[in-house]
A and B are shown apart, each in its own frame.
Chain A
Amino acid sequence: MSNILINLSGLALIGLIVWWFWLYRPEALRAAGPQPIEIIVADGVYTPARIEVPAGKPVTLRFLRQDADPCAEKALFDGLGISADLPIGKPLDVVVTPPQPGEYEFTCQMRMYRGVLVAK
């Protein structure tokens, strides 16, 4: 009985991993007005990591890097051809203009820090 329970739990856990990490789309923070959007870079994550922005308009992202690990040093927007070197403990403004609606990923060099701009 306990064997079956453990096996079923294992399979349920796999389902949960697939749903939580791959299928679920968390709600994006919506850019409001001309104010820069502050993104904290700490503990391996961008906060917020999913940001909704208007397509075709410049948006200022203000990165505040708190993590001194070199992993956190760069913010790369592969699809937009932008890369920024983030100073430690000081804000850095990065102006991005997603040309058309779609998702634009931004990551650190190792792609452990990951965020998405959802252009609408």
Chain B
Amino acid sequence: MSNLAAVKRLSISGMSCAGCVATVENALKSVPGVAEATVNFAEHTASVRGEVAVSMLISAVKQAGYDAAELRGIDDETEKEAAEFAHYRALLRKFAVAAAVGFPLFVAEPLDWLPHLATPPGYAFWSVTGLATLFVLVYSGGHFFRGAWKAFRAHNANMDTLIALGTGAAWVYSMLVVVFPGIVPSLARHAYFEAAAIIIALINLGQALEMRARGKTSEAIKRLIGLQPKTARVIRDGKELDIPISEVGLDETIRVRPGEKIPVDGVIIEGHSSVDESMLTGEPMPVEKKTGDEVVGATFNKSGSFLFQAKRIGADTALARIIEMVRRAQSSKPAIGRLADKISAVFVPSVLIIAVLTFLAWFNLGPDPRLSFSLVATMTVLIIACPCALGLATPISIMVGVGKAAEYGILIRNGEALQQAGRLTTIVLDKTGTVTEGRPTVTALVPAAGWDESKLLTMAASIETGSEHPLAEAIVSAARAKGIKLSAVNGFEAITGHGVSATMEGRKILFGNARLMAKHKIDLGNLPKRAEQLAAQAQTPMFLAIGDTVAGIVSVADPVKPDSKAAIARLHAIGLKVVMITGDNRATADAVAREVGVDEVMAEVLPGDKAEKVSGLQARGEIVGMVGDGINDAPALAQADVGYAIGTGTDVAIESADVTLMRGSLHSVADAIAISRATVRNIKQNLFGAFIYNVLGIPIAAGALYPFTGLLLNPIIAGAAMAMSSVTVVSNANRLRFLKTE
């Protein structure tokens, strides 16, 4: 395929009316090399076919007065990591410079090794020290002062404001003591250069440590990004070319050889192979793929070589959408974090007010030297207050928790779902495809008198060819396996919750459950007894009637997933009530329930009534999690407090569910709940820690203990506490990375 056929997609911004569409299209078409350009107003995208550089397209759109960007692959993190590492090194350098000035002073002062201020050598020494500290404030602490000033001009106050005011006040006061000692009472003549320098040193060190710890919080995303191959082998003008994945256009033909990763999503147009999709679906068995089958980017081609046509590229691939979903969830906040948000919005100005009040209290009521005490207490209040720990408490735990879940193949939509999942009391499991495999097979044929098995199966399979029900598929494939030739039927009708009816060779045929037979007043003879026996073995018996005579039973069973019983035991172990819901008959449902050990069975529930059953449980005061497939059970999933869609990673269309379980096993539900509970617990620990730290730290810094114990906090200790508080919050969140769900 020629590159002319390659489609580039752009995101267009600035289009406010349908008239803009023509302008943008004309601008794109005017670029040499463009064969075709179409703009989708609803999506704000443009698809351009032709041999042309994307940068040319973007500049043409810009010249027309709009803006454009390429829809491309997932950004790898290399550049970002390099920039962050450079920042980390810079913070360490700033720490080293500030520490080199501050620590010698801090050690020498109590040992009385430093010259006294009132002497000529003392004046010279302290003047030089003052200048060295100024250098520290500019070099190591310049970013705090810049940030504080910019924030101030924007009528905003942040952590920089507190640090800049605290250390700035210490330096100004100390310089006054050195240069104009006369204006300060003699008892208050003390310089605090070491405090200013060490606080700056410690906060830089704290930020560097926090940065390292934070790098680990986004490991899950990095691992997902790492799944994406870097290049693709496209066929252009009959030649095979290795190109970066970001340059792959829509509809391009791509060759994948054995042992290679599939670069983007598409459809096989030539060849066949087995593909390992375990990285996205958790299914360990490779899947056979042939012409016409879909393949998904980042999965692994095992045996054969094939050609496929790219259908989804860049940000549209399944992997990119999974990454986007995880990222979005990582940035979302549950209600539990809202209080902290409200507090941090008013935190810094409140601390500034407390600092002024502290100064006044010491100035009016404190012992001599009052000015020194006032300054030390004010400085300590400014330094100890840590809005960052409070602001970080919730998001950092969500980030690690959601990432951890992604490692288990669990995609959590947002922080709210995570918080709710931690509070569930009841789990409702849809039977088919959730508790059971969802791949039923024919297990028994019971012909009525005058009928034989083959004839019974032929009739049943013929009528079911028109049906899309999973049970129908089982019957049709059983007939095909036996080489049975199916007959044509007319007037096929599916009767929801009952079965199907049709006409064959002029006779009315009914195929379905006992309710369907009762509705049409079919005499079933002694067959219901046999049906009960089959149902008690967890099979689904269905009656076939021709005209008004019963022809027999076709029994189908959907085997229980091998790990369902163990997973349900885990749900019990964490204190949840487990309810199974199914449209199947009562006896079959009870048999499956006995096998896996659920607490309550809701059988013979019509698909449309599942949501109602869920709301019934909610009315009883239960907080309900519903597990089902994302399409048929969508209303029930939406009704539940938390909806878990069992899907596969390749089918991220299940975005409506609160939680998507990429792996089919019910263990994922127990894992998801365990991770949610651990994350909510972690958030609570962080919030509690951050609240207590500030609630106790600020009054102690202000000198609340002084009247009783004579204790006044050293501002350097306050600086150390403040620097460590954010590190502690991040480290506590990082503990979630080591969570074992079982």
Which positions 1-59 of chain A face chain B at CB distance < 8 Å? Answer: 3, 6-7, 10-11, 13-14, 17-18, 20-22, 24, 26, 33-36, 42-47, 49-50, 57-58
Contact of A36 with B147 at beta-carbon distance under 8 Å, contacts A10-B359, A45-B156, A70-B211 already known: no
Contact of A88 with B79 at beta-carbon distance under 8 Å, contacts A18-B349, A22-B349, A110-B387 already known: yes
Q: Is the pair A34, B349 in contact by a Cβ cutoff of 8 Å?
A: no
Contact with A44, one of B75, B80, B151, B344 (Cβ below 8 angstroms): B151
Q: Is the pair B332, A83 in contact by a Cβ cutoff of 8 Å?
A: yes
Bound-complex Cα distance A35 to B147 (A): 28
Which positions 40-98 of chain A face chain B at CB distance < 8 Å? Answer: 42-47, 49-50, 57-58, 60, 68-71, 74, 76, 78, 81, 83, 85, 87-89, 93, 95
- A87 → chain B, closest Cβ, in Å? 6
Contact of A6 with B363 at beta-carbon distance under 8 Å, contacts A34-B66, A43-B146, A60-B14 already known: yes
Q: Is the pair B211, A85 in contact by a Cβ cutoff of 8 Å?
A: no
- Taking CB atoms, residues of chain B closer than 8 Å to A112 are 158-159, 387-388, 391
Q: Which one of B83-91, B173-181, B585-593 is at the interface?
A: B83-91
Q: Is the pair A109, B13 in contact by a Cβ cutoff of 8 Å?
A: no
Q: Is the pair B65, A34 in contact by a Cβ cutoff of 8 Å?
A: yes
- Taking CB atoms, residues of chain B closer than 8 Å to A114 are 156, 158, 345
- Taking CB atoms, residues of chain A closer than 8 Å to B391 are 109-112
Q: Is the pair B356, A44 in contact by a Cβ cutoff of 8 Å?
A: no
Chain B residue with Cβ nearest A70? B214
Contact of A22 with B150 at beta-carbon distance under 8 Å, contacts A7-B364, A110-B387 already known: no
- Taking CB atoms, residues of chain A closer than 8 Å to B75 are 87
- Most chain-B CB neighbours within 10 Å: which of A21, A81, A89, A112? A112
Chain A residue with Cβ nearest B161? A44
Bound-complex Cα distance A18 to B87 (A): 35
Contact of A58 with B44 at beta-carbon distance under 8 Å, contacts A18-B353, A44-B147, A47-B150 already known: yes
Bound-complex Cα distance A6 to B67 (A): 56
- Taking CB atoms, residues of chain A closer than 8 Å to B151 are 43-45
- Taking CB atoms, residues of chain B closer than 8 Å to A20 are 152, 155
Contact with B67, one of A11, A22, A42, A60 (Cβ below 8 angstroms): A60
Q: State whether the Cβ of B69 lies closer than 8 Å to any Cβ in chain A.
A: yes
Q: State whether the Cβ of B327 lies closer than 8 Å to any Cβ in chain A.
A: yes
- Most chain-B CB neighbours within 10 Å: which of A11, A71, A74, A95? A71
What band does the interface of chain B fall in when counting residues whose beta carbon is under 8 Å from A? Answer: 35 or more
- Taking CB atoms, residues of chain A closer than 8 Å to B143 are 43
Q: Main secondary structure on chain B at its contact with chain A? A: helix
- B401 → chain A, closest Cβ, in Å? 14
Q: Is the pair B13, A95 in contact by a Cβ cutoff of 8 Å?
A: yes
Q: Is the pair B363, A60 in contact by a Cβ cutoff of 8 Å?
A: no
- A82 → chain B, closest Cβ, in Å? 9
- Taking CB atoms, residues of chain B closer than 8 Å to A44 are 147-148, 150-151, 158-160
- Taking CB atoms, residues of chain A closer than 8 Å to B332 are 81, 83
Bound-complex Cα distance A20 to B395 (A): 29
Contact with A74, one of B155, B207, B331 (Cβ below 8 angstroms): B331
Q: Is the pair B150, A45 in contact by a Cβ cutoff of 8 Å?
A: yes
Q: Is the pair A45, B154 in contact by a Cβ cutoff of 8 Å?
A: yes
Chain A residue with Cβ nearest B211? A70
- B164 → chain A, closest Cβ, in Å? 10
Q: State whether the Cβ of B557 lies closer than 8 Å to any Cβ in chain A.
A: no
Bound-complex Cα distance A88 to B359 (A): 41
Q: State whether the Cβ of B328 lies closer than 8 Å to any Cβ in chain A.
A: yes
What band does the interface of chain A fall in when counting residues whose beta carbon is under 8 Å from B? Answer: 35 or more
Bound-complex Cα distance A113 to B360 (A): 31
- Taking CB atoms, residues of chain A closer than 8 Å to B357 are 10, 14
Contact of A36 with B13 at beta-carbon distance under 8 Å, contacts A18-B353, A21-B156, A112-B391 already known: yes
Q: Is the pair B44, A34 in contact by a Cβ cutoff of 8 Å?
A: no
Contact with B155, one of A6, A21, A93 (Cβ below 8 angstroms): A21
- Taking CB atoms, residues of chain B closer than 8 Å to A74 are 331
Q: Is the pair B155, A24 in contact by a Cβ cutoff of 8 Å?
A: yes
- Taking CB atoms, residues of chain A closer than 8 Å to B207 are 69
Contact with A109, one of B86, B210, B331, B346 (Cβ below 8 angstroms): B331
Contact with A89, one of B65, B83, B154 (Cβ below 8 angstroms): B83
Q: State whether the Cβ of B157 lies closer than 8 Å to any Cβ in chain A.
A: yes
Bound-complex Cα distance A81 to B158 (A): 24
Contact of A85 with B327 at beta-carbon distance under 8 Å, contacts A17-B349, A17-B352 already known: yes
Bound-complex Cα distance A73 to B308 (A): 37
Bound-complex Cα distance A30 to B656 (A): 36
Contact with B356, one of A13, A36, A111 (Cβ below 8 angstroms): A13
Bound-complex Cα distance A62 to B296 (A): 32
Bound-complex Cα distance A10 to B396 (A): 38
Q: Report 8 cross-chain contacts, Cβ distance below 8 Å, ordered by A residue.
A: A18-B353, A20-B152, A44-B159, A46-B154, A109-B395, A110-B387, A110-B391, A110-B395
A-side residues, CB < 8 A to B, are: 3, 6-7, 10-11, 13-14, 17-18, 20-22, 24, 26, 33-36, 42-47, 49-50, 57-58, 60, 68-71, 74, 76, 78, 81, 83, 85, 87-89, 93, 95, 109-114
Query: Lowest 5 A-B CB distances belong to which pairs?
Result: A34-B14, A110-B391, A83-B331, A44-B147, A68-B87
B-side residues, CB < 8 A to A, are: 11, 13-16, 44, 65-67, 69, 75, 79-80, 83-84, 86-87, 143, 146-148, 150-152, 154-160, 207, 210-211, 214-215, 327-328, 331-333, 341, 344-346, 348-349, 352-353, 356-357, 359-360, 363-364, 387-388, 391-392, 395-396
